[in-house]
Structure 1
Amino acid sequence: MKFIPHDYQMEAMERLLDNDHYGLFLDMGLGKTIITETAVQELIEDFAVSKVLIIAPKTVAESTWQDEAMKWDHLSLTFSTVMGTAAQRAAALKKRADCYVINRENVVWLCEHYKFRLPFDMVIIDESSSFKNHQAKRFRALKKCITGFKRVVILTGTPAPNTLMDIWSQLYLLDQGASLGKTISCYREKYFKLGQTNGYVVYNYRLKPGADEEIYKAIEPSVMSLKAADYIKLPERMDNVVHVDLPEGALKKYKQMRQDYCLSLDADDITATSAAALSNKLLQMANGCVYDDDGGVIEIHEAKLDKLAEIIEMNEGQPVLVFYAYRHDLTKLKKKFANAKILSCSQDMKDWNDGKTELLLAHPASTAYGLNLQAGGHIIVWYGLTWSLELYQQANARLYRQGQNRPVIIHHLVAKGTMDEQVMDALQKKTAGQDALLEAVKAEIRRMKKDECKSN
């Protein structure tokens, strides 16, 4: 296939060629992979680099970079995929190739394998947001090696203001603190103020007034940031909230569980951990099952399964992508729909895009980055909702992206009278995240306690 780049893609390629250390903060669907591969090929042909390390999410490392290179006529890059057992990974590193692709979970192993002296002259960190935790082992390991690369490229989506705390570590890997400071402490002190606290425990930080613009200005020389809406035209997207009525017995169990949990907690002392625990219990029950204290599964209802079956029947012959939240969701879905396939490898993605899969089941975390599924269908069903706005948006973008030629329909199964409604409201307002979760749980606790007082 002949690659005819858009103007913004030409600009991005030129910046990668002109800068030894550079970041592309481009929204989903703008072509970060083909832009970067084209630049890499030119660098190799000019003898500027000879051996490139690509770090990516697992499913992306398996095939996305390799398949993208095979798609375009102008690319002749060779790849070695450094995955599998330790022996298989070591063997892949010995193969002669232009690019060595490894999943981020094996970064620590790679650094230790080479005793932190990596034999690559360029590194590309795909979806660099997976290195946002400055305390994570993968960040610390790569930090020790990063100055050994002649060229560093980081790729991720355009950062929103509420994600700016996460970009310090990503920019540090790019420029060793030149833009945002040498330490996370200095970065926090300069741009953030304390948010929710409990004694000496700090749960989150909030941006100081105008700090977002200061951060964007500080990183501007090092990154190119573009929003998809400004550069690509997509078909219509229709978001549909499908209300699900729970059986009377199931709703009664849900309300009892909610009451028992809420009355045992104090809204003023609730933490992110306890809020997540309560929310998870309630969302599980809304989906139809809940884990007991021993890890067993208690079945409560099949209302969402029945509603999903209706949607599939109404769209007979049309492929449907279903996002589930919990393992027991997956078990029930597989039992109910014998023809369903689970997205777990590159072949599953290929079968979907080739029209061989009628019903594809996926966890949003496994599809969040880099997967192109737009050729296989245009219907999404959220069987279980997520508090993560980033995961939600990224997962939807697997179908709603450049190359999609049909209107994308996104159904959300929302159990009435449950935590589903609060999550859906937060997603629609684009406020979903830890803060929204905490506020929703606190509101639930206060409501339960108020009702308890009235009844007494």
Structure 2
Amino acid sequence: ALRRAARAWTPLAPLLSAAVPDALDLADEEITDLLGTGARALAAAGVDVHWPRQLARRLSARAVIGPPGEGSPGGESPDRFRTTTPSFLSADALLAFNWRFALGDQELSREELDRLAEANRPVVRLRDQWVLIDPEQARRAREHQDRKVTPIDALGAVLTGSTEVDGRRVDVHPTGWLAELRERLADPEGMAPVGQPAALAADLRDYQLRGLNWLARMTSLGLGACLADDMGLGKTITLIALHLHRQTAPETAAPTLVVCPTSLMGNWQREIERFAPGTPVRRFHGGRRSLEDLDPGEFVLTTYGTMRLDAAQLAGVDWGMVVTDEAQHVKNPHSATAKELRTIGARARVALTGTPVENNLSELWAILDWTTPGLLGKLGTFRTRYARAVEEGKDPGAAQRLSQLVRPFLLRRRKSDPGIAPELPPKTETDRAVSLTTEQTGLYEAVVRETLAEISGADGIARRGLIVKLLTELKQICNHPAQFLKEDAPRIPGRSGKLELLDELLDTILSEDASVLVFTQYVQMGRLIEQHLAARGVASQFLHGGTPITAREAMVGRFQEGEVPVFLLSLKAAGTGLNLTRAEHVVHYDRWWNPAVEAQATDRAYRIGQNRPVQVHRLIAEGTIEDRIADMLVRKRELADAVLGSGEAALTELTDSELADLVELRGGAR
């Protein structure tokens, strides 16, 4: 046994030649070696090392992070707390990263730690006892005790309760306002609710109010946030309410910039005008875009593409808040869009998305590193410390630490959550406005100009025929230029605002594992959508008037069994008689003149047997005849019943001036 031990640790070799191998004097460096590598080598050889009980030898460490000086501002008012908290969106403050060391349960003073480090010996007399410790460990401890860290690094450490130093994980204890901040973030219900803004023209549901309170708390602390509710739970109105709330305080009253896909810009403007009447709103988009004479309470809407081009100009504004809608558009942190977005400063940043993680955790890093820069560290470190360990299931502790770190900054509610679905109406209908592309605008204006000239010189049946032709062609242009031009081998992407919006909707719907019905009154448009979805790898099927009965029944069966999530349907062929309760979403790609026909189509999903809320999305080309018809349906229901109930025929009786007013293109184009 002694020979085996001596082979493992050579300082024991003199015992082999001793007459009585009972004791051995060791040099300081040999004791130091035995404390670390020697003990491990002996253990591997099956030899235990026992130290005298009276020797205190365990030097433990924990980090103490907080503002310079001692004490905590506990009991301060929320207003005072806000003013003493540095902005977490910049590194304008450094916090003391101090260490507390203890031998057993006895905490050491700085002077005692200095003695341990300077003694350069493994055995030191301290507090009337012998201390056995690795001198190198003591030196490292002393070197680390005067570190400084940014507030966001400190917050990440105190939220997880630990941090990594030189490859070792150490416990972290917060002090001062940092300790209070951790308590506030850990107790979402602890803050007094802000209440619904008086200027909001709507009644928020309970879960929306909770979302508003959460966003108000996070942004008031200078922190960013990601609202990741399911589609249809009202992220837009919650954000509008937050903007109105922030206008009531002088320190947060400032313009809000919303960056969104082009297809959603019209919808944002309408929602703001509807729920925050009187609030200024402008589009920073198109050739005449300007940021002059911004009102402090104004909404500015722009697209990801325009933001990328004009980031420098946008960065020159003192934004109260910058919002990214469909924030998964910046999930690639190396993209030009993500890089330019980071150059635009704001007092608060909010990301809205129904799909915070589509493929991997690096996407979550990209979103949260924009809302609260530095929270999750560098991407490479995040991949090593969290993402890889969580995705491969190798380290359950990593998943828990990531959850503790992310939870305060991301609010995720699903329709299936308790207390959410019961509040939703069984059917939610939304008009989704979308801008025409430049190509669509040119075609629309040309057809209006040429056909109105023809109509002015015609009468009787010929005039009525020209009007029907005009209305049909305008609707086709609103759908897609390829439909109007009857192209044999069309280039489909990038030419239709409606198709872009449909892609956005389908991405979100499919990410929630939901199913959708897409109605169009034109078979040709249905085929274009089918071809487009196939190119994108989205499984779909198309039912129209030429579909045989057996094939029709098979399609319904496949959809109801969940085999095909997107069901394209011709309005005339599938508007009645089908039971498609698998669908949670219904999209009306183009408007029908008679709202009752649309309602019948919607009832394919919203009928007996449907046990989930149904969301209806009507796509409307802004500034076009579709917009005018939608306006009549919403605000002039009695007139709509009288004029539109009989469909296009009633419109053929309009005068030339009334017809021109109906079809004229007003703004709304890109």
TM-score (norm 2): 0.35
Which residue type is aligned with residue 189 of structure 1?
T
Distance (Å, rounded) in 1 between the aligned partners of 2:394 and 2:603: 42
Please list, as runs of the form range in 1=range in 2, the aligned pairs for 1:30-429 lying within 5 A after superposition.
30-47=233-250, 48-61=252-265, 63-72=266-275, 75-85=277-287, 88-89=288-289, 91-96=290-295, 98-113=298-313, 116-146=315-345, 149-160=346-357, 162-178=359-375, 180-181=376-377, 183-193=378-388, 208=394, 210=396, 214-230=401-417, 231-232=420-421, 331=482, 335=486, 344-345=496-497, 364-365=502-503, 367=505, 379-380=518-519, 383=530, 384-385=533-534, 386-387=536-537, 399=586, 406-408=603-605
Quick check: 1:17 aligned with 2:216?
yes
Structure 1: gaps of 5 or more residues? 196-204, 237-323, 349-360, 372-376, 410-456
Distance (Å, rounded) in 2 between the aligned partners of 1:234 and 1:378: 19
SS in 1 for 2:257: strand
SS in 1 for 2:342: helix
User: Displacement, 1:215?
Assistant: 3.3
User: Displacement, 1:363?
Assistant: 7.1
SS in 2 for 1:64: helix
When residues 363 and 113 of structure 1 are mapped into structure 2, their CA distance, relative to the original with a 3 A threshold, is: closer
Distance (Å, rounded) in 2 between the aligned partners of 1:31 and 1:334: 38
User: Displacement, 1:75?
Assistant: 4.3
Equivalent residues of 1:25, 1:155 under 8 A apart? yes
> RCO (CA 8 Å, sep 6+): is it higher in 1 or 2?
1
Give the equivalent residue in structure 2 for 1:28. Answer: 231
When residues 138 and 160 of structure 1 are mapped into structure 2, their CA distance, relative to the original with a 3 A threshold, is: closer
When residues 84 and 169 of structure 1 are mapped into structure 2, their CA distance, relative to the original with a 3 A threshold, is: same
Equivalent residues of 1:164, 1:212 under 8 A apart? no
SS in 1 for 2:311: helix
Which residue type is aligned with residue 363 of structure 2?
D
Equivalent residues of 1:49, 1:122 under 8 A apart? no
Larger Rg computed on CA atoms: 2
CA deviations 1:323-371 (Å, max 9, x no partner) are x9xx9xx84797399xxxx9944xx6xxxxxxxxxxxx66743545899
When residues 159 and 50 of structure 1 are mapped into structure 2, their CA distance, relative to the original with a 3 A threshold, is: closer
Equivalent residues of 2:320, 2:347 under 8 A apart? yes
When residues 216 and 387 of structure 1 are mapped into structure 2, their CA distance, relative to the original with a 3 A threshold, is: farther
SS in 2 for 1:399: strand
Equivalent residues of 1:158, 1:227 under 8 A apart? no
Quick check: 1:5 aligned with 2:204?
yes
Which residue type is aligned with residue 39 of structure 1?
L
Distance (Å, rounded) in 1 between the aligned partners of 2:291 and 2:323: 18
Equivalent residues of 1:121, 1:151 under 8 A apart? yes
Distance (Å, rounded) in 2 between the aligned partners of 1:336 and 1:138: 33
Equivalent residues of 2:389, 2:395 under 8 A apart? no
CA RMSD of aligned residues (A): 4.2
Distance (Å, rounded) in 2 between the aligned partners of 1:397 and 1:111: 38
Equivalent residues of 1:81, 1:100 under 8 A apart? yes
SS in 1 for 2:352: strand
When residues 56 and 108 of structure 1 are mapped into structure 2, their CA distance, relative to the original with a 3 A threshold, is: same
Which residue type is aligned with residue 412 of structure 2?
S
CA deviations 1:135-176 (Å, max 9, x no partner) are 111211222334xx1111111115357442211111011111
TM-score (norm 1): 0.50
User: Displacement, 1:408?
Assistant: 3.5
Equivalent residues of 1:60, 1:369 under 8 A apart? no
Which residue type is aligned with residue 365 of structure 1?
D
Identical counterparts, % of pairs: 18
Equivalent residues of 1:111, 1:142 under 8 A apart? yes
When residues 206 and 387 of structure 1 are mapped into structure 2, their CA distance, relative to the original with a 3 A threshold, is: farther
CA deviations 1:96-152 (Å, max 9, x no partner) are 4611111011223232235x4433221111111111111111211222334xx1111
